[in-house]
Amino acid sequence: MILKIDVEGCEWDALNDLNPDILTHFKYILIEFHFLEPDNIKLYYNVLKKLKKTHQVFYSRCHMRRNIIIFGNNRICKYLELSYIIREGNKFIKDDSIYPIYDFDYLGPNEKGIEINLNLLKLFDFDN
């Protein structure tokens, strides 16, 4: 089954309140995240950590490139589409690449010359 979420910012509270066992019913999860409030970093962290336990990101895309937000010391896309695949039954190889990867999760400078980092998950230390 596939779970697709694009609910204009409500995804954070919905996923935060969701029983994590429900996520295991979905092989793929496709989400457009809306980063509306930089002060909600704890909520963002909790939701992304919950998803990371059961699923692995395999694709990221910046939606509406000209909208960026300052997140810590980084600039990220305000509307970020992430595609996940379930961890169970799949094998993943640890990737020590330096991110962002050009042409995959890095758009380079936008029209204002500001670089956009699409690799949001590297901004969080989920091991702690």
pLDDT over 70 at 79, yes or no: yes
Identity (one letter) of the amino acid at 91?
K
Lowest mean pLDDT among 60-64, 92-96, 120-124: 120-124
Identity (one letter) of the amino acid at 83?
S
Quick one: which of 70, 84, 87, 53 has its CA closest to 123?
A: 70
Q: What is the pTM of this model?
A: 0.74
Quick one: which of 43, 38, 103 has its CA closest to 74?
A: 38
Mean pLDDT of the chain: 75
Question: Each residue of 83-99: pLDDT tens digit?
Answer: 899 999 988 777 665 44
User: What does the block give as tokens for 25?
Assistant: 């019913």
User: What does the block give as tokens for 102?
Assistant: 């050009």
